[in-house]
């Protein structure tokens, strides 16, 4: 059934006209308990969704929509290992990556949990040897720098998590190379010594062009300095494609596997997180996985009205599909989470940026949101102007923490910088929601001519996620919360959230065009006139 055929869909569409006539000021005035009632807790995360354009009736209709679109049956099908990635005919079992050693998850008569822990143990032994210096490079010195080479899910997850857990990094220096732009690899290697550098080549398929180009260039850099025999001690791989890894020259004992039931953008808890484990150690990596598990169990068991990923998934459908919001801003008030918006871009947009349902029929309603954002308070001095007074509806997710690891006292000598940061986060969501009327502006003594410029319209929705502290566990919880939110969206829309066919034609087209830009190439009549013109301009500028 298409979402637009649901009884709740028609009801929500009708309801949207009346609820949006009510301001958030009105809704808060009508229900003094709203600010604590419209909240949900999961693990260490406190989620406040009271500043949304909703009331109890909206939530009841969204719950009905979830039931009519079989969100819970689809969740259970995923958890049972059914092949819910229909277009690739694969199960979707990233939750298996977080199972405890004593749990089971059976897939086609095989318990996959021992496989998962087998790889985690191998990762632990390997990263221990890097961290304690017993893994030696070609000239006998220990490794001081790990360079992760990967792209998309093979880069964004480990890069985001490594930055987020800065305070927990006590192993080798870890760097990330992803772009096929040679500047990325060159700038990363510029100050490195090949003898103390180890490359982790991360690619599920081991055939992604950017990753293989960077891996081969890194291999040449190493071999030029240390000789061919050095490759074995300075390259390891994370992949599901053992044959192609062997062709590259990486020994099978240095390959950390995962499975086709782990999608790239859901893979940071698998061996794809190897460089993170090198940085923080196996015990903290286990805490990271335990954080995911807390939210997995909540998603699996919490009732609909208290299920955080379900609530957040339904709210994002409400905005994207019913109220016509095209985008959602991700605003972490934690500098160490600066890469979270980029990570969530792939998670949400590659999963749900689709127009057809799993059976190939059109979804028929607007789907995937444009995810973007920036760490607070930097965004306040850049784009919050549009959020506050622009003409577009852009719901925002504020993410902050009660405690900071280290802190400084601020300008007043009494408040800490972390407290100021958090005050800014609370202030932004408050001003977005409640604004400032013209009468209030004029009452402040503002010239009436200037007043329209200073009016703050309010009624700009946001969610606030407040956690205790940015730790491996709370980060795992946060990622799992978003993973399951994305699942709920896709389930309501009826789309396959686990394929990414939309990226393939661009890759093939680049391969086809590359010879035109290489020696002996040039524009051809077979090209469209724009591409022909661009190729001609490229050659004019080259010569």
Min separation Cβ 406 and ligand F6P, Å: 33
Q: Running DSSP on this structure, what letter comes out for residue 32? A: T
Cβ contacts of 530 within 8 Å, gap of 6 or more: none
| Residues binding ligand F6P: number (CB under 6 A) | 14
CB closer to ligand F6P out of 152 and 373: 152
Residue 221 CB, shortest distance to ligand F6P, in Å, is 20
The least CB distance from residue 99 to ligand F6P, in Å, is 22
Answer yes or no: are the C-beta atoms of 65 and 12 closer than 8 Å.
yes
Contact 401, 467 (CB under 8 A): yes
Q: Pattern of binders to ligand F6P over 452-491, x per CB under 6 A?
A: ----------------------------------------
What's the closest the beta carbon of residue 482 comes to ligand F6P, in angstroms?
A: 16
Window 134-163: contact mask with ligand F6P (x via CB under 6 A): -----------------xxxx---------
267 versus 429: smaller Cβ distance to ligand F6P: 267
Does the CA dihedral 196-202-208-210 come out positive or negative?
A: negative
Residue pair 307/157 in contact by the 8 Å Cβ criterion: no
Of 503, 510, 514, 537, which lies in the binding site for ligand F6P, with binding defined by CB under 6 A?
Answer: 503
The one catalytic residue among 14, 110, 381, 512: 381
SS3 call for 81: coil
Name the phi and psi angles at 36, rounded to 5: -110, -25
Beta carbon nearer to ligand F6P, 369 or 499: 499
* Nearest residue (CB) to ligand F6P, 508 versus 519: 508
Q: Least Å distance between CB 260 and ligand F6P?
A: 11
State phi, psi for 15 to the nearest 5 degrees: -65, -30
Q: Which is nearer to ligand F6P, 69 or 148 (CB)?
A: 148
- Closer to ligand F6P by CB, 151 or 278: give it: 151
Whole-angstrom Cα distance, residue 263 to residue 261? 6
Q: How far is the CB of 350 from ligand F6P (least distance, A)?
A: 6
Q: Residue 138's Cα: distance from chain center in Å? A: 37
Residues 350-369 that bind ligand F6P (CB under 6 A): 350
Q: Known catalytic residue: 507?
A: yes
- Residue 204 vs 298, nearer CB to ligand F6P: 204
| Closest listed residue to residue 160, CA positions, set 400, 393, 476, 459 | 476
Bond into 377 cis (ω within 30):
yes
Long-range interactions of 88-93: CB distance < 8 A, separation 24+: 88/498, 88/499, 90/260, 90/261, 90/498, 91/261, 92/261, 92/263, 92/266, 92/498, 93/259, 93/261, 93/262
436 is annotated as an active-site residue: no
Look-up: residue for tokens 């399951």?
484
Active-site choice (350, 369, 374, 483):
350
**Per-residue CA distances from 167 to 163, 164, 443, 509 (Å):** 9, 8, 47, 42
Could you say which of 196, 464, 497, 500 contacts ligand F6P (CB under 6 A)?
A: 500
Catalytic residue among 110, 216, 305, 507: 507
Q: Which residues of 467-484 are buried (b: 16+ CB within 10 A; e: fewer)?
A: beebbbbbbbbbbbbbbb
| Closest CB 212 distance from ligand F6P, rounded Å | 8
How many whole angstroms separate alpha carbon 229 and alpha carbon 208? 25
CA-wise closest residue to 272 among 200, 339, 168, 170: 200
- Smaller CB distance to ligand F6P: residue 212 or 394? 212
Residues 181-220 within binding reach of ligand F6P (CB under 6 A): 203-205, 208, 211
Q: Which two tokens stand for residue 225?
A: 């300095």
Backbone angles phi and psi of 462, in degrees to 5: -155, 155
> Considering the complex, what minimum distance in angstroms separates the CB of residue 205 from ligand F6P?
3
- Closest to ligand F6P by CB, 264 or 400: 264
Active site (annotated) includes residue 381: yes
Question: Rounded CA gap, 123 and 236, in Å?
Answer: 11
Q: Alpha-carbon dihedral of residues 529, 533, 536, 538, nearest 10 degrees?
A: -130
To ligand F6P, the closest distance from the beta carbon of 489 in angstroms equals 18
Give the residue closest to ligand F6P by C-beta.
Answer: 264
Between 153 and 313, name the residue whose CB sits nearer to ligand F6P. 153
Question: What are the phi and psi torsion angles at 84 (to 5°)?
Answer: -80, -15
Nearest distance from C-beta of residue 353 to ligand F6P, angstroms: 12
Provide the mask over 235-274, with x wherever binding to ligand F6P is found by CB under 6 A and - wherever it is not: -----------------------------xx---------
Both tokens of residue 151? 């792209």
Rounded Cα distance, 514 and 213, in Å: 14
Binding site for ligand F6P (CB under 6 A): 151-154, 203-205, 208, 211, 264-265, 350, 500, 503
Which residues are designated catalytic? Answer: 350, 381, 507
């Amino acid at each position: 059934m298409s979402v637009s055929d649901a009884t709740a869909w028609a009801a929500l569409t009708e309801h949207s006209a009346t609820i949006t006539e009510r301001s958030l000021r009105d809704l808060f005035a009508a229900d003094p308990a709203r600010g604590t009632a419209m909240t949900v807790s999961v693990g260490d995360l406190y989620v406040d969704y009271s500043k949304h354009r909703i009331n109890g009736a909206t939530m009841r209709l969204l719950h009905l929509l979830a039931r009519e679109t079989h969100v819970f049956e689809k969740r259970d099908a995923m958890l049972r290992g059914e092949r819910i990635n229909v277009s690739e005919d694969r199960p979707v079992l990233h939750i298996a990556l977080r199972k405890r050693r004593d749990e089971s998850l059976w897939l086609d008569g095989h318990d996959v949990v021992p496989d998962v822990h087998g790889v985690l143990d191998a990762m632990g032994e390997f990263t221990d040897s890097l961290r304690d210096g017993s893994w030696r490079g070609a000239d006998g010195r220990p490794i001081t720098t790990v360079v992760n080479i990967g792209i998309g899910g093979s880069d964004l997850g480990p890069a985001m998590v490594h930055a987020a857990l800065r305070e927990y990094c006590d192993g080798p220096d870890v760097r990330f190379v992803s772009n096929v732009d040679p500047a990325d690899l060159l700038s990363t290697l510029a100050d490195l010594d090949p003898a103390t550098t180890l490359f982790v080549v991360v690619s599920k398929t081991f055939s992604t062009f950017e990753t293989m180009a960077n891996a081969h260039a890194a291999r040449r850099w190493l071999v030029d300095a240390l000789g061919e025999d050095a490759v074995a001690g300075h390259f390891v791989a994370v992949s599901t494609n053992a044959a192609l890894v062997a062709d590259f020259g990486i020994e099978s004992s240095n390959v950390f596997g995962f499975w086709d039931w782990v999608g790239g953008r859901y893979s940071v808890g698998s061996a794809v997180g190897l460089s993170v484990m090198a940085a923080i150690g196996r015990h903290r990596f286990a805490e990271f996985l335990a954080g995911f598990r807390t939210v997995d169990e909540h998603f699996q068991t919490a009732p609909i009205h208290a299920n955080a990923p379900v609530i957040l998934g339904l709210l994002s459908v409400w905005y994207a599909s019913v109220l016509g919001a095209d985008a959602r801003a991700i605003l972490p008030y934690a500098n160490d989470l600066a890469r979270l918006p980029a990570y969530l871009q792939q998670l949400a947009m590659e999963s749900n940026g689709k127009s057809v349902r799993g059976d190939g029929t059109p979804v028929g309603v607007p789907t995937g949101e444009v995810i973007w954002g920036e760490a607070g308070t930097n965004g306040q001095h850049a784009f919050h102007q549009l959020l506050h007074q622009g003409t577009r509806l852009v719901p925002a997710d504020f993410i902050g923490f009660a405690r900071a690891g280290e802190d400084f006292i601020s300008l007043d000598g009494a408040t800490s910088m972390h407290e100021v940061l958090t005050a800014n986060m609370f202030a932004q969501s408050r001003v977005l929601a409640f604004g400032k009327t013209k009468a209030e502006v004029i009452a402040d003594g503002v010239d009436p001519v200037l007043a329209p410029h200073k009016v703050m319209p309010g009624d700009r929705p946001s969610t606030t996620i407040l956690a205790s502290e940015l730790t491996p566990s709370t980060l795992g919880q946060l990622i799992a919360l978003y993973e399951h939110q994305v699942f709920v969206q896709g389930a309501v829309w009826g789309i396959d959230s686990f394929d990414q066919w939309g990226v393939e034609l661009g890759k093939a087209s680049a391969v086809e065009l590359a010879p035109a830009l290489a020696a002996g190439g040039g524009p051809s009549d077979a090209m469209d006139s724009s591409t022909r013109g661009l190729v001609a301009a490229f050659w004019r500028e080259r010569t």
